[in-house]
Structure 1
Amino acid sequence: MSINTKKTEKRQGKINIKNKTPLFTRNNLYIFIIIIVTAIITGVVTTEYVKNKVSNLVNNAVNSSESNNITANIIKQVSPSLVTIGSSQEELSTIEVNPNNTTGVVISKEGLIITSYDFIKNMKDIYVKLPAKGVKAEKAVLLGYDKDTGIAVLKINGKNLTPISYSNQLSYKTGDAVESMGNATGDNYIGMITPGVITSTNYSIKIDGERYSIIQTNAIMDSQNYGGVLCNSKGQMIGFNSEYLTKKYNLDGLYFAIGNDAVVKSVQDILNQSNVLGVEGAELDNKTGFYISNIGEGSPAQKAGLKATDIIKSVDGKDMDSLEDFYTSVKGLKKGENIKLDILRDGKSKEVNITI
């Protein structure tokens, strides 16, 4: 018994119980917390990064779509009022870039058009192509031009044409986004459009002793859109693209448009000189007279008793076979001169004498 006891005691004396290291020591706990926090932060940052990236892509897509829509709306608004001008029907028979053609802007339903005089001044004949499929170019009459602005006014037989929409003179400022538009290619939609901003409104030109605004811009202008329009985001004309003024100031990378107030002044002066009778209208389809569509208030025509819908058959005995015949007959008449018109009113012939 004593031996067994000793053996047992001896065996027990050799047993060593090893203490295990605790799983969550203070240091391990700190490391574990750091890992968890890092994972959380990394996840949040990654999530925010992805969210921001996606958000930027969406915003860029939306902004690009909105920009495209604005441009498309501008073109839709302006393109019906832009015409192509050339020296013959052949020059306007194809839709392509032609250095012999330029742009014009419709400013009245009856067929008044403005363009750059420097471009057309050497043309023997002037033809205008409207932006519509299947429409042939028609001959235009040069009513006159303004030497201060370089603007020329043409007249074609107009029947409910789409005149350009003018913006309010004070509706634009430096920094505003603009589009420079033209159609020198005879396109049925639009020829050329270039974006930009107004870089200065501090320039002006003098007409009859008064100052009128011109607009400086970085929207590119060249032979494809000179004679066209500078317009705002609503598709309203704020200025007439001027090669004349751009060459005059000769500033690299900057271009000039004539403000609407100067355009209106120039056009009115030209009309007053070219049509002293004060009538608007068009030649008849059968070329047997000049149809009066409108008469100016207080004009010699109104004082003589002419009325809208009257048809002028002859001026001082010369038959009115074309639009050109009429404007050639009355252009240059001076105050105090007398002319005799043979007119047709309600199917009856009538003679009218007018003193200018």
Structure 2
Amino acid sequence: MEHTKKMSLALISVVSLVYGIVGGGLSGYAVFSILDNGEETTGDTIINFENGSYKEVWEKAAPAVVSVVALKDLGDYYDQFSFFGFPKTVQEDGELSEVSSGTGFILTADGLVVTNKHVVSDAEAEYVVILDDGTELEAEVLDKDSLNDIALVQITGDDDRIGEFPNLDFADSDLISVGDPVVAIGNALGEYSNTTTAGIISATGREILAGGTGFGTETLVNLIQTDAAINPGNSGGPLLNLSGEIVGMNTAVDTTASGIGFAIPSNDIAMVVKSYQEFGRIVRPFVGVRYVVVHENNMKRLGVDVDYGVYVIGDQQAQLPGVVPDSPAAKAGVKEGDVILSVNGEVLTETNTLVNVIAAYLVGETITLEIWRDGETITATVTLEESTQ
């Protein structure tokens, strides 16, 4: 597929990355604010290279890292200016131009690609995937996650390597630690494909408010923070351990500082992929409660005797109940005023809320809630159902 590539500069400000509709925009999220500090690094870090070297990581992973490019016919866009005395564009009708680009990585030999949702946010665009050898193949957006910045793309163009594409494996992101060495690979600035940078995991469990021009804002939780250089265009690229396994997907960068980037943990991505493979779409489970997080500063105001968990409460202004009628929670007997303390023994806290924990389960699975109610602790068994939101 032939297309015209428009060149431009990306302007990074405190609050956003420029996302150009015209002129080769870069797909990226900027951090508005860090909402939760998570686990931070302190002191010096000793990097252990026993599991591999940066060069070995690059040699293993780079063939599976791709550029994800959005293409559009901009003839109508340019032609509108002819009404105001501007020269008519020389672009031929039907000619496709690159309007944005990001990164992705191949997860299966038949060409399933994982990238950020904001990289493929334009529903009117056509998408192509560019392999590490420069081969350009048509691609289809399969689905976008409603709760996280994750999207699945399938390579559809003809290529003899379909079924034999190099692909990457997930590591268990629950096993990573602050100070672990990592490698980021991506389509930096939309121009430098397979740019590789190295650093460490600086923190885990971060919660941020991120956004970019054309994307709006989104709260992202449970993120990995890294000091490996992440640039506009790196969105959707893998963050790798020294075994060349995916520990995260690069997603956002704090544009007010140097060396502060964020990645979605591999376990969160793996659950989305598993859901798609099982249901043919990304399915998110839900319990069916509205809540506020309990902590030592609000427990007295809420009238509870515990300083952790989530307090089930409705939105009085919007006249929305704390327990959604006919939801899994309602069927299990959960009531407004309950404090859900844990899910299958996993304690709920300010940094590990109900939505974070439930994301690790599939629709149809059964969970046990530990609940504080009127000074007593009880349990409720909930069968997760599909979220319709």
Q: TM-score band, normalised by the shorter chain?
A: 0.3 to 0.5
The two structures have a TM-score, normalised by structure 1, of 0.47
Structure ranking higher in helix proportion: 1
- Identify the structure with the greater strand proportion: 2
Structure number with bigger Rg: 1
Highest RCO, 1 vs 2 (Cα 8 Å, sep ≥ 6): 2
- Please report the TM-score for the alignment, with normalisation by the length of structure 2: 0.43
